[in-house]
Structure 1
Amino acid sequence: MFSSLRPKVEEILLKNKETPDARMLEICQLLKDSIPHYDWVGFYFRNGEKEELLLGPYAGAPTDHTIIPFGKGICGQVALSNKNFVVPDVKAQDNYIACSINVKAEIVVPLFVGGENIGQIDIDSNTPDPFTEADEEFLEFITKAVSQIL
């Protein structure tokens, strides 16, 4: 599944006439539509010099979490740790921000430009414990590829 999506992602990123946001939105939609356990797919980016994340392009249900302080929730923790965070069961996490009562699991992978963590891709799943090492590797590919257009 992931190997067949890689060329599609690369093709989207080559659309130089499109803005980076438009291309990231298309990637979010592709992932949400193509991977059964990806129910919400979005990017968050550092909000200027502030210690907070600002919601970028996403596909899925609207969210109230358009700004997330560093350290808060899974996304806020990744902003500080610079490491992938896989949460098999969101109910088992103390520092979790609930986006929907349907979300059972989450994975967040940081996005680096010039060695600096400038954002992340965030995936919510309504399926308990769906994420594997293959998801992590694929999302690392996504963040590296997207970093080339930012």
Structure 2
Amino acid sequence: MPFTQLKPIVKTILSNTSETVDQRLTNVCELLQSSIGYYDWVGFYFANEAKKTLHLKAFAGEETDHTVIPFGKGICGQVAVSNENFVVPDVKAQDNYIACSMYVKAEIVVPLFKDGKNIGQIDIDSHTANPFSVEDERFLEWVNEEVATIL
């Protein structure tokens, strides 16, 4: 499904105040994972600044053991420090990569800002090599901006 068609659905999910924030985040993950063929795992991690760790709050896809990630470790941990998008076309080419599944070939992580502070991120794993484009980055930045409005 094209990103333009997903945007109003994301807005509807996030505006549903009869559900908890965590449930709305899970619903967004499920929507993206089921609607975009190369989004095989979608999750939101949020920072615990005091402990310098990221904590998995919502996801869609296979279960993962990586529910807590130290800042600086793996792609997610690096984004927690850099505050910048990180697109990995080939995870095997990354030295600081945490393998979640043997099927993952690519990853994109986009930081989530609230009031100018990096409070978390959206993380997408793909079983397809090099699937992510600038359009994915812009769309995920938009998703994070929308998510920040309910936090």
* Deviating 4+ runs (over 3 angstroms): none
**1:131 corresponds to which residue?**
132
CA distance in 2, matches of 1:137, 1:48: 26
Percent identity between the two aligned chains: 63
How far apart in 1 are the matches of 2:95 and 2:57?
25
**SS of match in other structure, 2:137:** helix
**Matched residue, 2:27:** 26
Q: What SS class does the counterpart of residue 121 from structure 2 fall into?
A: strand
Q: Which has the higher mean CA deviation after the structures are superposed, 85-94 or 12-21?
A: 12-21
Structure 1 residue 47 displacement after superposition: 2.2
Aligned length: 150
Q: Which runs of 5+ in 2 are unaligned?
A: none
Q: 1:68, 1:89 → 2: CA distance? A: 20
- What is the DSSP-based 3-state SS (H/G/I as helix, E as strand, rest coil) of the residue aligned with 2:56? strand
Structure 2 equivalent of residue 106 of structure 1: 107
Aligned equivalent of 2:57: 56
Q: State the distance in 1 between where 2:102 and 2:15 align.
A: 37
Q: Matched residues in 2 for 1:147 and 1:39: separation?
A: 23
- Partners of 1:71 and 1:31 lie apart in 2 by 26
Give 1:48 shift.
5.0
